[in-house]
Chains A and B, each alone.
Chain A
């Protein structure tokens, strides 16, 4: 083995075995994170170099079994059998096993050893195991028929040995066949294999067994689409019936056989220390899952996270928004002469990059907490505590954190749905997350409430109408999300009710490395995958607002203003600025955006809107709060207005229809707010949905259903309000 050699191994193990810790100790930052083609399953590849060459490590999703029932498991089987495109041929399997929980962890091993690949068994968490179990390692190695090593990945112990063992294992033969199943079953599987072979379908022994064992499995469904295999489902049913008659009922016969083999293998060489009273984890859980304290602690943790992502990350966000981006823009303006290039750089590129970067603080902050909670073991408890409440929505306790985070911002919230292992629950959570009232809606509410809702107070000024309307707006999305979740579950994501079979792992100190890598990955995957799409959307919307108008006049005016030595508040300068704003307003009216706004005017008229509001809504597709700046431009106030701007408020208050009637009033303001509460005017959210679901179908679906909801909601609001208040 002197020549340089590249090899690829797959990392597999149960959840909570320290697999990610082991992966990061072995490879450092993953070389590539993405999705497997066509599915939501995350693909993680790592690389390291040893003295013989490069080693690629494919980190497969943590799983308890290797069936073809769920997407994760199906992908893992495809990767291991080297039938997955885009993944190198697998030379060996590295099976990570939690040494403190040997029986259940070996279950996956009994499936892996049927795949015909060499296996290295890694007993991880060995430091803790030494005080909890007694095990004859030599005997275990002999009985399993594969090399066994021990590691404590959290302390980086045994990693060098693991690298050496990985290099050796690829040269070794796969584990010897073990008589796992009773003869009746093996015969039935062989029978099926030759039946399939007669129909030109060559499958491995393992795959044939899986076809029989996985009732309602995805592989069987896929195969029976072929015309020559259309009888496969009936065939499988009759095989299962025959097996049941001979006492081998599916699926019990599989688990019985495998656990039977495990018991036999561990017989006499392994024992668990009898527990002396409650363990440390039990004691902690006495408080953390307590009837009253459990909720209190849960509430406190969620409160801290929410505060951190709204206030802590919000501070960075506002610095980016209010200091960094204006600074970069002004630098660009000082270099570039007024004209299309400056407009593209300042309003397109810098604004586009800003629209991406602005999400980073809150994403990194949330994933810091997600990683911390997952790694210490509390995440499972949080799901455990909240589950009953969330089942009322047809979801599970695992959906709580992503949904709560979406109240700050749906982008990290949707990314955090990765903690939900059930595919249907995850999809429903992703699709309702954008309805939660995020912080970007706040400026829109503030502007319209301050301008159009009369301030009335009760109870000595403690309760105000402004506050009530704001609260109602924030609640509206949540109230609508409940029936939507129910409908999605009922019609789009039907199927087996989602199970809550969840391990409550022992508590441990979170590993800084794992937390760091998790945060790093979240930022990287957001920037690389969603970031470019968000950026492109911003540039496109800029172009729609810029073309096809003739900007010569406004550019000349800008040059004149910038070259002049006039005082900031001199009347001449003010006159020039007002002229420029007038021009900007006319230009946007004649732009593609303006045309689009005029085209949709008949459609938005029933909502009480004129074409200018229509333009504002279209222009705010990249982000909701953009509507404020757009309205400012249309009403000739320049692009630099915010929700506090008195000029904008008075401009809105005096805007009229061509016939002289006022455009705005309470009904219109309410209908705009309701629209923004329910619409999907946020490119970042839609692009993150695309990234997380790995399909354009779901962002399009989310945009369509939310826009429909928003339109109907705004229509009802306007029609009702205008009758009530006229």
Chain B
């Protein structure tokens, strides 16, 4: 199962689900990471963690540990061809 943490900088994907029922899952979804949303990995922090993401037109940072809860599917249509 592909998760957000597996994506490399520059790539984008569509959110399938956020695993878990706890407050953290709710918090991640609250921030706009919901089913069908396009999410782009802009980069990583200098030490490789956390991740720098773009979602819903703003920038969000998640630790890889949290990003592992976000299952995604590669988006062939909307990913930038640049």
Contacts and interface: CB of A to CB of B under 8 A. Distances in A.
Interface in A53-111: 64-65, 67, 69-70, 100-101, 103-104, 107
Interface in A239-295: 240, 249-252, 254-256, 259, 272, 281-282, 285, 289-292, 294-295
A384 interface: yes
Contact of B46 (A103, A216, A295): A295
Interface in B46-82: 46-50, 52, 56-63, 65-66
Interface string A192-235: 00000000000000000000011111000000000000000000
A384 B22 contact: no
B47 A388 contact: yes
B52 A387 contact: no
A380 B61 contact: yes
B34 A384 contact: no
A380 B62 CA distance: 12
Contact of B66 (A259, A389, A499): A499
Contact of B56 (A69, A104, A252): A104
Contacts, number: 130
Contacts of A254: 26, 29
Q: Which of A254, A292, A384 has the most CB of B within 10 A?
A: A384
A256 B52 contact: no
Given A65-B30, A252-B18, A500-B66, A101 B46 contact: no
Nearest to B19: A252
B22 A501 contact: no
B32 interface: yes
Interface string A389-424: 101000000000000000000000000000000000
Contacts of B27: 64-65, 69, 499, 501
Contacts of A70: 23
A179 B31 CA distance: 22
A654 to B, nearest CB: 54
B6 interface: no
Interface in A497-524: 497, 499-506
A385 interface: yes
B29 A251 contact: yes
Interface in B37-53: 42-43, 45-50, 52
A496 interface: yes
A561 B57 CA distance: 77
B57 A272 contact: yes
B21 A250 contact: yes
A521 to B, nearest CB: 27
Given A101-B56, A503-B59, A504-B61, A259 B32 contact: yes
B7 interface: no
A503 B27 CA distance: 12
B26 A385 contact: no
Nearest to A70: B23
A385 B31 contact: no
A254 B34 CA distance: 11
A285 B58 CA distance: 14
A67 B22 CA distance: 13
Contacts of B29: 251-252, 254-255
Given A289-B52, A384-B50, A388-B49, A101 B58 contact: yes
A391 B48 CA distance: 13
Given A500-B63, A500-B66, A501-B31, A251 B21 contact: yes
A401 B6 CA distance: 30
Contact of A500 (B17, B43, B61): B61
B2 interface: no
B57 A384 contact: no
Contact of B57 (A64, A103, A215, A249): A103
A96 B36 CA distance: 27
Q: Which of A285, A387, A499 has the most CB of B within 10 A?
A: A499
The size bracket of the interface on B is 35 or more
Nearest to A503: B60
Interface residues of A, number: 51
A251 B47 CA distance: 32
A503 B58 contact: yes
Interface string A29-71: 0000000000000000000000000000000000011010110
A384 B26 CA distance: 21
A147 B58 CA distance: 25
Contact of A69 (B23, B47, B52, B57): B23
A598 to B, nearest CB: 54
Given A64-B30, A387-B50, A256 B35 contact: yes
Contact of B32 (A104, A250, A502): A104
A23 B62 CA distance: 30
Interface string B3-26: 000000000000001100111111
Interface string A564-588: 0000000000000000000000000
Given A69-B26, A256-B34, A501 B66 contact: yes
Given A216-B22, A290-B46, A388-B45, A104 B52 contact: no
A214 B32 CA distance: 17
B49 to A, nearest CB: 5
A500 B23 contact: no
Contacts of B48: 388
Nearest to A255: B29
A549 B35 CA distance: 77
Given A69-B23, A250-B21, A252-B18, A504 B32 contact: no
Contacts of B63: 387, 391, 499-500
A389 to B, nearest CB: 7
A214 B23 contact: yes
A494 to B, nearest CB: 14
B26 A251 contact: yes
B28 A501 contact: yes
A104 B21 CA distance: 21
> Can you list the 5 inter-chain pairs with the closest CB atoms, starting with the nearest?
A255-B29, A388-B47, A251-B26, A504-B59, A500-B63
18 contacts: A64-B30, A64-B31, A65-B27, A65-B30, A67-B26, A70-B23, A217-B23, A252-B35, A295-B46, A384-B50, A387-B45, A387-B47, A388-B48, A500-B66, A501-B28, A501-B31, A501-B66, A503-B58
